[in-house]
A and B are shown apart, each in its own frame.
Chain A
Amino acid sequence: MQNGEMLQDKKISIKIKGIRDGLLISLGEGDWPIVQEELLKQIEERSAFFQGARVALDVENHILHAAEMGMLRDKLSDSGVILWAVISNSPTTERTSQMLGLATRISKPKPERVIRSQSASTSLSGDNAMLVKRTLRSGFKISSAGHVIVIGDVNPGAEISAGGNVVVWGRLLGSVHAGVDGGKDAVVCALEMMPKQLRIDDVIGGLPLKPDKKKHVLPEFAMIQGGEILFQEWNQRERGK
C-alpha cells in the first residue's frame, strides 16, 4: 500500500500515493481555486506519469458543489486522468460525489474518518441518519450505515441501502435494502409503496399490498414478521408500539 511515490509541495500540500486501485491524491488546506490549479499544474508537469491514471481524490475539508467537482473531473479527463472517487470529511462534498456517480470511499478507508463522520451526522441514540431531500432518479444510490430519510420520490432503478430504517416521504418505486447488517427490526415506510425490490436484513420482500398504482394512495410500512416481509397500511398499525 505504501510503496507508491510520495510528492510534497511546500506551499499547498498535495500528497500522491500509490494504492491498489490507482493513485490517491490528498489535497491540503487552502483556497479551492488555488489548490485545484496547483493540482492541475503538477499533473501537467508530470503528464507522462499521470497519463491514463485512475485517481481517487481526498479533498479533506473542502466543500465542493457539483459545478466545481464536475469541472475538475472534466479538466482531469482532458489531461488523461480518470477520476473515480472523491473522499471528503464534508457531507456536502460526499453528496456531490454521489450525485456525479463517483465513489466516496476507497477500499480501505482511514479508520479515524469513520469515527469522525459518525459524530458529525444527525444522531439519535447513537445512530446515523441521512436526510436526502430530492428525487432519486435511476442510477442514484444512497448508502448509509444508519437510517435513511428521503423527501421526494425514489424512482425505478434507484437504490437505497441502510443499516437502519428507511423512510420515503414520496413514492418508493426503486430498490430498498434496510437493516443491512442484521437489522431484523428495521422497517421501511413510504407514502406510496411500490418498490421494485424490498429487502430487510436478508429477507427479500414479496409484493406490496396493492400493485395497482391508481388505487394506491395510503402510506404503508414494511417489516419482517414470521420470517417474511409483511406490508401493512399505516393507519392499521398499532400506534406507539
Chain B
Amino acid sequence: MTATIITITSGKGGVGKTTTTANLALALAELGDKVVCIDGDIGLRNLDVVMGLENRIVYDLVDVIEGRCRLRQAMIRDKRMNELYLIPAAQTRDKSSVTPSDMVRLCDQLRDEFDWVLIDSPAGIERGFRNSIAPADVVLVVTNPEISAVRDADRIIGLVEAEEKGPAKLVINRLNLDLVKRGDMLTADDVVELLAIELVGIVPEDASVVVSTNRGQPVVMEAYTKAGQAFRNVALRLKGQEVPFLDLEEKKGFFQNLSNMLRSGGN
C-alpha cells in the first residue's frame, strides 16, 4: 500500500480548510480506504474539534517528532470508521517546532500503512504552510468565491508550482446559489477561469455544515445534505472516478447561459 499524501491549503483563513479535511477524511474512510489526518496548524489546532476527537488527545504531532512517544501512540482512532486516524497538532507550541523534513519523514512512515494521508495546512504562506506542503503528492487548494480568497488561492497555487508540487487541484467552498443568481457572487466558472487549475469540487453554502461542525460530526455523515454529497463527490474524484458536478451546478449553468445570451445579444 502506498499512500497518497494530500495537503489541504488556501492562503486565506476561514475558507474551510479544516472542514474540507475532516469531511474528505470521513468520506474516503466511508469508501473503505485507510485514512490518517494530520493537523498541521500547530498552536491553533482545531481539526480534532471538528472531527469530535478533542477529548481523546494524549500525545500530539510535536511529541512524535521530538520522540516523546511512538507514532502509533499519537494516532487517535475515529470510532465511527474502521480505519480513520487523526494525528493532532500541539496546542502549546508553535510552527517552528516542526521542520519540512520532519513532515516528510513522518509521512514516509505512514505511507506503507495507509491509502491516504490528509494534511490540514494552516492559513498563510509561512513556516506552517511550508511544513504542510513539503511531503505532499497532491495539493488541494480550497477557496471561496470571493475576490480576496481567490487572490490568495492564486498566490498559493504559484508557490506550489514554484515548489514543483503543482499543478494543484481546486475546491470551491461555500458557493451561495442565490447570490450567484443575482450576479452578486463570483461564479464557479469565474474562479476556474482565473485560477486555471483542475476543479475537483464545488461545495454549496449549507447551514448544516455549521451545525454539524459544532457537534463534531462532519457533514458527510449526514446523508441528505448538499454539502455532504459535494464532499463525497470530491472523495470519489480524488479516487479517479468521473463524477458529474451536483445539481446546483446545472441550475447555475442555466442562469449563466441565460445571462450570457442576454449579454451577447446586446453586443
Contact = CB atoms under 8 A, between A and B. Distances in A.
Interface of A: 65-67, 70, 74-75, 77-78, 99-101, 135-140, 153, 155-157, 173, 214-215
Interface string B49-88: 0000000000000000000000000000000000000000
Given A66-B162, A66-B164, A214-B263, A138 B99 contact: no
A156 B154 contact: yes
Nearest to B267: A215
Contact of B155 (A70, A74, A138, A215): A138
B263 A74 contact: no
A46 to B, nearest CB: 20
A70 B196 CA distance: 24
Contact of A157 (B99, B154, B162): B154
Given A70-B164, A138-B151, A153 B196 contact: yes
Given A67-B164, A156-B151, A78 B99 contact: yes
- The residue among B152, B158, B159, B263 with the most chain A CB atoms within 10 A of its own CB is B158
B260 interface: yes
B154 A137 contact: yes
B260 A74 contact: no
B209 to A, nearest CB: 27
Interface string B222-265: 00000000000000000000000000000000000000100100
B110 interface: no
12 contacts: A65-B164, A75-B101, A77-B99, A78-B99, A99-B158, A99-B162, A138-B151, A138-B154, A139-B155, A153-B196, A157-B155, A215-B267
A102 to B, nearest CB: 10
Interface residues of B, number: 23
CB-CB nearest 8 A-B residue pairs: A137-B158, A99-B162, A138-B155, A138-B154, A139-B155, A74-B100, A137-B154, A78-B99
Contact of B151 (A65, A75, A157): A157
A140 B163 CA distance: 14
Nearest to B131: A74
B194 interface: yes
